[in-house]
């Protein structure tokens, strides 16, 4: 039985000293969307094999902490419009 492809907006949260900001991106997967978002956060600015800092809840890269933020499922129709404006990873 083939799994259904689902579409999402993912958020990556970054903290760099006093600065906090987030980036939204689109993705689709048949797997766990939270695991996909976490894997994206792990390689966001680094090599992709960084260890999770459980105390900080994210991955360190050049003095910044990168965390997997919220994931929201969206309809295919919204995905098709938003991919013109957001990065698809």
Average pLDDT of adjacent 10-residue blocks, the chain of 89 residues = 92 95 97 96 82 89 92 98 95
pLDDT value of residue 61? 87
pLDDT value of residue 2? 81
pLDDT value of residue 79? 98
pLDDT value of residue 65? 93
- Sheet of 59-61, strand order: 19-29, 6-16, 64-74, 59-61
pLDDT value of residue 31? 96
Instruction: Give the contacts of 48 (CB within 8 A, at least 6 positions apart).
Output: 39, 42
H runs (alpha helix) in 1-89: 33-42, 76-82
Instruction: Give the contacts of 77 (CB within 8 A, at least 6 positions apart).
Output: none
pLDDT value of residue 51? 81
């Amino acid at each position: 039985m083939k799994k259904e492809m689902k579409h999402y907006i993912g958020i990556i949260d970054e903290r760099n000293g006093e600065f906090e900001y987030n980036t939204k991106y689109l993705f689709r997967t048949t797997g766990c969307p939270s695991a996909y978002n976490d894997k994206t956060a792990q390689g966001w600015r680094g090599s992709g094999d960084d260890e999770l800092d459980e105390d900080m809840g994210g991955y360190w890269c050049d003095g910044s902490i990168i965390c997997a933020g919220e994931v929201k499922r969206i309809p295919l129709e919204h995905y098709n419009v938003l991919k013109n404006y957001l990065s698809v990873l």
